[in-house]
Structure 1
Amino acid sequence: MTISRRFLLLGGSAAAGLAAIAAAMRPMSPPAAAAEGSFEFTLTDAEWQARLSPEAYDVLRHEGTERPFTSPLNDEKRAGTFACAGCDLPLFASQTKYDSGTGWPSFYDHLPGAIGTSEDTSLFMVRTEVHCARCGGHQGHVFEDGPAPTGLRYCINGVSLKFVPEPAA
């Protein structure tokens, strides 16, 4: 099958148009404004920008998404804890991490009291957004297609996490 120049240009234009629509529909307010309640750890927008890398700021404070298969934490297999990159709250134990094949670090459970959720209706669908219970930083989403024992898949942006290895014995 030969791909014509017209087909290639039309396909590229359609993809660019869909990406522009998705970007325009993405919420641009910090999760603290979207999630219900107040958070124990708060900073001004300028303080968040100074504290975080541009990528982490976009994900944690503006509900962005990193590109799949780009996070070094995807391949992290050591024993330890995955904490919020915004406020250092421990969120996930390494024992609950697994390779979901999606391109983002995935976990089947979180540490008690570490995660909050809210409804995300962006991109023409309803999903459950996951945020840090201490600072409200957007982590990713949770889906009901994970492994036992919970059946859940916490699909988390690597830039919203920092890994803290267990001390050597």
Structure 2
Amino acid sequence: MKKLFFLPILFLLFACNGNAQKKSSDKAEEKFEVTKTEQEWKEELTEAEFQVLRKAATERPYSSELNDITEAGVFVCAACGNELYRSEHKFDSGTGWPSFDRAIEGGVAYGSDSKLGYQRNEVHCARCGGHLGHVFDDGPRETTGKRHCINGVAMDFIPDDTK
């Protein structure tokens, strides 16, 4: 009789270690070239940049000045200056966030999150780990078919003529 009592308890112990408690991103285990304490990031970033880059928040759609950028240049991480996207790979997705069909090679890294109840491909800066946005498979078919949906507050733009 004791065995029957302990069997459900043993089952519950193992069941509590399910997927819901796994980390939503592999980012936590990665080592980045630029690492700072949370307090250092808070001191260096604006509140909006901190919430998006360090806490994986999402800015309101159509709130970024970077949506309207059409000139040649490079989009860099607002936290560390790492080059992320070239303007020639930017397109108007109609979503309200800056969108790109590809990143600069080595500029971004990928993880996953399931905060909304389903799996999404997260994009973060390969140099500092800052959250940038997500990648979807509904981008331009004539190029990569990918849409990197990026929070504008997570980036700065540097026109080519200022390099």
Q: CA deviation at 1:34?
A: 3.9
**Which runs of structure 1 show a deviation greater than 3 angstroms over 4 or more consecutive aligned residues?**
33-36
The letter for the 1-side match of 2:156 is K
Residues in 1 aligned to 2:100 and 2:60: alpha-carbon distance in whole angstroms:
18
Aligned counterpart, 2:133: 140
CA shift, 1:93, in A, is 0.3
1:92 aligns with 2:101: no
CA distance in 2 between counterparts of 1:36 and 1:144 reads: 26
Gaps of 5+ in 2: 1-22
Kept in 1, the 8 Å contact 2:77–2:84? The answer is yes
Give matches, 1:65-144, under 5 Å.
65-144=58-137
How many Å separate the matches in 2 of 1:38 and 1:113? 15
C-alpha displacement at 1:44, in angstroms? 1.1
TM-score (normalizing by structure 2): 0.81
Aligned to 2:160: 166
Deviations 1:35-70 (A, max 9, x none): 431000011111101111100100000000000000
Cα pair 1:35 1:118 within 8 Å, conserved: no
User: What is the RMSD of the two structures over their aligned residues, measured on CA atoms?
Assistant: 1.8
Matched residue count: 139
Give the TM-score normalised by structure 1. Answer: 0.78
| Structure with greater Cα Rg | 2
3-state SS, counterpart of residue 146 of structure 1 = coil
